[in-house]
Amino acid sequence: MSVRRSLFIQFLNSYSAAGISFVSIIILARLLTPQEIGIFSVCMAFVGFLHTLRDFGIGAYLLQERNLDAEILRSAYGLALLFGWTAAAVLALSSGLVADFFNEPGVRSVTLVLAVNFLLIPLGSLAIPLLKRDMHFVSIMKINVAVSFAYAVSTILFALLGAGYMSMAWGTLVSTVVNVAGSLAARRDLIGIRPSLRHARRIISFGAYSVGSNFIVAFGPNGTEIVIGRMLGLSAVALLGKGRSLITLFQQAIMAFIMPVAGAMFARQSRDGSDVGKSFLQVIGYLTAIGWPSYIFMGFMAFPIIDILFGDQWYEAVPVAQIFCIAYSIALLHSMNNMTMEACGHARAAFRYQIILYPPTVLLVIAAAPFGLVAVAGTTIISATAGLILSYMFLGKVINIRAGQVARAVRKSALVAAITSVPPAAVYFWGGIGPGNTVIPLLAAAVMTGLVWLAAVFATDHEIKQEILRLMRSVLEQMRRMVGSAA
């Protein structure tokens, strides 16, 4: 499958999943309180650490392994079961301690349900990495859409039935069952595979650095939520999550379809000895051309978006969301760096970078927490800037790129973003935005921003213009075929 077709399939995948998630987030924000959502969020923060240990870099290893055979797959499966079931036991045994830590009994019930997921996930855990390796993104799309739909429907039903904070825990369990079933249906050769540990040392030698890197990455956002939950309360965790939800929507809509394809492409180029740096710079140019204008728009329109989507009980999340938009605009420049290092087989470099960056991030959060949620959000700008500098110091040695090359790759994106910022800024300052006046300003800003963005892409002759023209030609061709067949 070509890279362009892979991107298109992953585009459909991401937008389908993002659309389902978008609807479920809106509904749940009105069915559940910040306190209820906060209970689930802090549980997921603890679970996030164990997820990185459960995977132990097995997926990343399968993606980059040059000589993949049946014995290696059996060993990967054996390790997946070992780590997954161990994580389940740890989570179940520690559930009481976690509940005591937050002084919230509901945390224990959620944690116990989430522990069951770790028993099930390893059963289908090899399928997705293998499908990515072979660039079978249609199968991945079907699985992800089914999982997203299962989670959304089940969670909303449980919430309507009055399950409260347990709604999301039961919904997660339902989605895990669907994920395992769908994964094994896509790779039936994995059904009944016998676990082994014959090549465990080989996989662990790679996975130790990969899991270490992923654990440190998880240490940032998850550690932040744990600190906030303990110091500022569980409602504050939910407000932080809603502030980040605007970014999450973009991650699901854009990053989630670019990253898997880019990772598979970089891994294949690295295995073949091709120039990964050239492809990396091209992708980062496309990514910033879309991402920077999106973050600018969301930053200016944070109040109307949160008001319309979530309601007035979430207004405190508005300044948090605006700060996150600034931080993630910076982070976008190095959002692919860790994945690229792992795809090229340099998990050790990725681990060293992460362990330098993320522990100080949590210390910053602890220092900022007494000053409130906005101060905590502000620390993300500092960590994103530090990550930008550090990650390219490490990545430059892996794919031989320099800061000047990155700057040249995104200079047109910066110009497009600057031009595109005019409509949302004008609406923000002169649109009279406030309670009762959100829909019309948001729609006006969205329409004008979209048109100006398109004009800016063509005026600056940005590289993404060719992709837009190719898409337009494809759409026109499909329309001609439909008209022709109807006639």
Map out the domains of the chain as residue ranges: 1-208, 232-474
pLDDT (0 to 100) of residue 61: 74
- Radius of gyration of the chain measured on its C-alpha atoms: 22
For residues 87 and 79, is the Cβ–Cβ distance under 8 A?
no
Grouping H, G, I as helix, E, B as strand and the rest as coil, residue 285 is helix
Q: Which two tokens stand for residue 200?
A: 């465990």
Is the CB of residue 32 less than 8 Å from the CB of residue 100? no
| Integer Cα distance of 151 and 155 in angstroms | 6
What is the rounded distance in angstroms from the CA atom of residue 474 to the CA atom of residue 367?
53
What's the pLDDT score for residue 210? Answer: 63
187 φ/ψ angles, rounded to the nearest 5 degrees: -125, 75
- Mind listing the pLDDT tens digit of every residue in the chain (487 residues)? 555 555 555 555 556 666 787 788 888 888 888 888 888 888 888 887 777 777 767 777 777 667 777 788 888 888 888 888 988 998 899 889 988 888 888 889 999 999 998 899 888 888 888 887 776 767 777 888 888 899 999 999 999 998 888 999 999 999 999 999 998 888 888 887 888 888 777 777 776 666 666 666 666 667 778 888 888 888 888 888 888 877 777 666 666 556 656 666 676 766 666 777 787 888 888 889 989 999 999 999 999 999 988 888 889 999 999 999 999 999 889 888 877 777 777 767 777 777 788 778 888 888 998 888 899 899 999 989 998 888 888 887 778 788 888 899 999 999 999 999 999 999 999 988 988 899 999 999 999 999 999 999 999 999 888 877 877 777 777 777 766 665 5
pTM for the whole structure: 0.74
Q: Cα(44)–Cα(62) distance, rounded to whole angstroms?
A: 26
CB atoms within 10 A of CB 137: 25
What does the pLDDT read at residue 196? Answer: 81
Give the pLDDT score at 158. Answer: 94
Structure-block tokens of residue 421: 């910022």
Identify the three-state secondary structure at position 341: helix
